[in-house]
Structure 1
């Protein structure tokens, strides 16, 4: 006997009873009926359950009867409008209660994500922003939204943008700014990049330098995929050479340590605290500055806490790097 059911306004034809489908019965088929069955089972009365669910009693009766037909078992023993659970009904009710409780927990978690006062923001940012700029942003924002929670992710740019597109992150503080049709990027500030050289380097007594003057020097740099590496390669190409990278790392302070040890030179953001053994030189040609901005996925709805934090960060345009 063929039948049909409707899920989210899409009607599917039932080719055979669910009891004959084995363990692969689609959860989407059972889910719409479980809450209805559970209400009838808890109250042991069809009319009162229909009132609780705000649906016509005949519609509820047919829904439970269809569930029994689809499962191929009797779930309820009927006595007029009063019902009693069969043994199979008790088994299903236990599972239905657990499933519905988990669904309610999920719904509550989803509501909490969008709570304007205590929701969550998943925020990615560059490693070099984590020492000063990001803590200052969070401190300023939390003054007005003290209960908003943050998931903070430090990553290189390519990985952050992948996670942004996948929905794992809401916003990213990035450099260089992405140029992609599926992303929105707004510039916030510019940061000077200095040439870091060992204190005993032949150029350490200088204040300014052209990047071409170190074309033959070994460089220490972040790994491929990091925004700083993209900029290093770009600036060196503009200066007419390809950098000879002797050491690669992930952390800027590690690179400063390598410079201090005399293992190479590096193009880095300014140090917040001077590093012994390292001298930072201004680069006059090319203009070694990096744009820092905020990125998010175009067209993706933002929860109220995400929108509030995004607006706050954008309001800091030109003041993100007050220490620089």
Structure 2
């Protein structure tokens, strides 16, 4: 009786499976010795498993390249599939481990740079009072970077502004409202004003965050609503850098209040009408959650009123 194709595939998988982790590591190291060191296995074992996988597949997976090696086309295809499979296996192992011991779980939390000053430390401090054994990996970046990492499964939860209503694959809830102010050099004519209309800024030079940041998205939208295109003098990746450029007299910026107080050389002027942004907690709609992730999400929801 002939063997069915799916049975042949199953036999192939069984033969090449021991080499999958090696291929994933080899893609990063391009060197068999460093791969063996990274995985803490003898170098002959690495060579033997790779040779066995190549024999089973009927094609070479690696080839010499200078003093190292590189993946062949077949090796690249197999390695890309292996990376996806390993991510699923790692997620399953993590879920199983935390199901047994949820009090010692792990949460990967992404957030915007600006939120690391007060909101994130406050949420973590309060949560750890009830779950002192939960470990956190904190990932900072732009709004777009956080969205990309959420979709890729690289972070469990992310604190973003604004909430990603444009992506049906993500869900979440609002956590707090944050007022946005006009930051100007303290010698600027607007520094003494009690309030400023955004339309008055049409001739100003702006210092702003790069595209992909939530604040930049909000500022661009406000400029469009006010009927002008912003004159951008400098773009940065850190709000502290933006404030420093404002203090140096290089432009004005749209930023949240600087806590604990306005830095030297900068005046913060409220806008009229008042401008706020919603900061929310976001996660993939269909992604499973470990007990630790679920507990932290519920904690943030419960403390919603206390962090405003």
TM over 0.5: yes
Please say if residues 262 and 268 of structure 2, whose CA atoms lie closer than 8 Å, have aligned partners that are also in contact: no
Q: Is the CA contact 1:195–1:268 (under 8 Å) kept in the aligned structure 2?
A: yes
Q: Which residue of 2 aligns with 1:198?
A: 185
In 2, distance between residues paired with 1:168 and 1:202?
46
Partner residue of 1:173?
159
Q: Any gaps of 5 or more consecutive residues in structure 1?
A: 5-10, 19-24, 33-70, 72-104
Q: 1:258–1:30: structure 2 CA closer, same or farther, 3 Å change rule?
A: closer
Match of 1:123 among 106, 109, 131: 109
SS in 1 for 2:14: helix
Distance 1:31 1:214, change over 3 A: closer
Do residues 112 (structure 1) and 106 (structure 2) align?
no
Structure-2 change in CA distance of 1:110 and 1:213 (3 Å)? same
Structure 1 residue 109 displacement after superposition: 5.2
- Structure having the higher helix fraction is 2
CA gap of 1:178–1:108, structure 2 versus 1, over 3 A, is: closer
Question: Residue 187 of structure 1 aligns to a residue in which SS?
Answer: strand
Give, in whole Å, the separation in 2 of the partners of 1:257 and 1:319.
31
Residue of structure 2 in register with 1:139 after alignment: 125
Q: Partners in 2 of 1:316 and 1:14 — Cα distance?
A: 54
- The question of 1:256 aligning with 2:243 is answered yes
2:192 aligned counterpart, secondary structure: coil
Alpha-carbon shift at residue 276 of structure 1 (Å): 0.5
Q: How far does residue 26 in structure 1 lie from its aligned partner after superposition?
A: 2.2
Contact 2:181 2:256 in 1 (8 A): yes
What does residue range 48-197 of structure 1 map to in structure 2 within 5 Å? 111-114=96-99, 115-179=101-165, 180-197=167-184
Is the counterpart of residue 312 in structure 1 residue 306 in structure 2?
A: no
* Shift in alpha-carbon separation, 1:28–1:240, aligned structure 2, 3 A: same
Which of 266, 272, 277 is residue 284 of structure 1 equivalent to? 272
Runs of 4+ in 1 over 2 A off after TM superposition: 1-4, 11-15, 25-32, 105-115, 318-321
The total of aligned residue pairs comes to: 236
TM-superposed CA distance for 1:181, in Å, is 1.2
Hey, what's the Cα distance between the residues in 2 that align with 1:13 and 1:260?
A: 69
Q: Structure 2-normalised TM-score?
A: 0.71
Call closer, same or farther: CA 1:30–1:166 in 2, change over 3 Å: closer
Bigger CA radius of gyration: 1
Counterpart of 2:14 in structure 1 is 28
TM-score (norm 1): 0.67
Using the TM superposition, give the Cα deviation of residue 237 of structure 1 relative to its aligned residue in structure 2, in angstroms. Answer: 1.6
